[in-house]
């Protein structure tokens, strides 16, 4: 009989890519912890579709918010976490001359600091099990750069570097750490991109279409359930925009 799977926590489960990851991990038999911040209704609807899933609300731009995730998993679920998908993120696009210190801080706190801090805290639970997968959602922009996305790109490049260091520290405990770097994917994050920028992106995609959240989730599912010899890598899912 196969061993019962633990919890898979997806931060930003209320968003496009996060929701697809929650569905895929639910299908793979994990008990899915759907994290959200403001998207309560979306998260509740998603949870009603995934048997055994539960919700966690927290603003991960604050340390208190992140600590509340740790506390809830420990008190109510015995820290039985097997997969952490650091997916929540923001893209505050602005050319370098216009970008503000506030935008910089917010981007770094939500995208980067949360990835580092949640991993740092939650991997302790995985070490006890001598088993676990951490999957960090970065971006093609973290490798290739992009106009008006310098701050976002820096946060994602740093995530990829964190993936590499963490994979080296945690390999001894049987914990695998990888990044998944999506390209141009249909979610609320890309809905608001001005048409002239969207056209530039489209021209850079050899497959000539945007990706679907499910196509990113397939890679996350692979890294959560298979991929036993993969760690410290960045997996690109971008229709050929960038090969690494
Ligand atoms: N879409 C793309 O083309 C693309 C490409 C490359 C990489 N990515 C990356 O993929 C990830 C998911 O993006 P998406 O496209 O699915 O975007 P999305 O639909 O806008 O979802 C973003 C998610 O992040 C959460 N979030 C934002 N700020 C938060 C905060 N302060 N505290 C807690 N949660 C917060 C949101 O929660 P609430 O809505 O509940 O507040 C939401 O669930 C991001 O890391 C993004 O950078 C996306």
The answer to whether residues 148 and 88 touch, using CB atoms and an 8 Å cutoff, is no
Ligand 1 site-directed mutation target among 16, 32, 89, most atoms within 8 Å of CB? 89
Q: Verify whether ligand 1 is closer than 6 Å to residue 137 (CB atom).
A: yes
* Mean of per-residue pLDDT scores for the chain: 97
Q: Over the stretch 59-112, which tens digit does the pLDDT of each residue have?
A: 999 999 999 999 999 999 999 999 999 999 999 999 999 999 999 999 999 999
Angle at Cα 138 formed by Cα 74 and Cα 95, nearest 5°? 125
Distance CA 19, CA 223 (A): 17
Strand residue runs (E) in the chain: 7-10, 31-36, 54-57, 81-86, 132-137, 175-182, 234-237
Domain boundaries, the chain: 7-236
Q: Verify whether ligand 1 is closer than 6 Å to residue 61 (CB atom).
A: yes
Residue 1: pLDDT band (50, 70, 90) is low
Quick check: 37 pLDDT over 90? yes
Distance CA 182, CA 241 (A): 10
Angle at Cα 90 formed by Cα 88 and Cα 92, nearest 5°? 175
> Worst-scoring range by mean pLDDT, 42-46, 192-196, 238-242?
192-196
What percent of the chain has a predicted confidence (pLDDT) above 70? 99
Average pLDDT of span 167-180: 98
Give the H or E element holding residue 229: none
Burial class (CB in 10 A: 0-12, 13-18, 19+), 71: exposed
Quick check: 223 pLDDT over 90? yes
pLDDT score of 200: 84
CATH superfamily, domain at 7-236: NAD(P)-binding Rossmann-like Domain (3.40.50.720)
Quick check: 194 pLDDT over 90? no
Quick check: 195 pLDDT over 80? yes
CA of 71 to the centre of ligand 1 (A): 23
């Amino acid at each position: 009989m196969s061993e019962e799977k633990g919890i898979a926590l997806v931060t930003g489960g209320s968003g496009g890519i996060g929701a697809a990851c929650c569905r895929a991990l639910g299908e793979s038999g994990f008990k899915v912890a759907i994290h959200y911040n403001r998207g309560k209704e979306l998260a509740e609807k998603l949870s009603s579709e995934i048997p055994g899933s539960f919700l966690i609300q927290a603003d991960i731009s604050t340390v208190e918010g992140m600590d509340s995730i740790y506390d809830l998993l420990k008190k109510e679920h015995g820290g039985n976490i097997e997969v952490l998908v650091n997916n929540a993120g923001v893209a505050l696009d602005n050319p370098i001359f216009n970008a503000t210190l506030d935008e910089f801080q917010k981007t770094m706190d939500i995208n980067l600091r949360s990835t580092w801090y949640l991993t740092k805290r939650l991997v302790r639970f995985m070490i006890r099990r001598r088993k676990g997968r951490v999957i960090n959602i970065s971006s093609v922009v973290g490798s290739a750069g992009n106009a008006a996305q310098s701050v976002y790109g820096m946060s994602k490049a740093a995530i990829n570097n964190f993936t590499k260091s963490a994979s080296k520290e945690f390999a001894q405990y049987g914990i695998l750490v990888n990044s998944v770097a999506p390209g141009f994917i249909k979610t609320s994050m890309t809905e608001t991109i001005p048409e002239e920028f969207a056209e530039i992106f489209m021209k850079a995609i050899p497959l000539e279409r945007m990706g679907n959240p499910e196509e990113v989730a397939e890679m996350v599912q692979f890294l959560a359930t298979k991929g036993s010899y993969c760690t410290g890598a960045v997996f690109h899912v971008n229709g050929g925009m960038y090969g690494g």
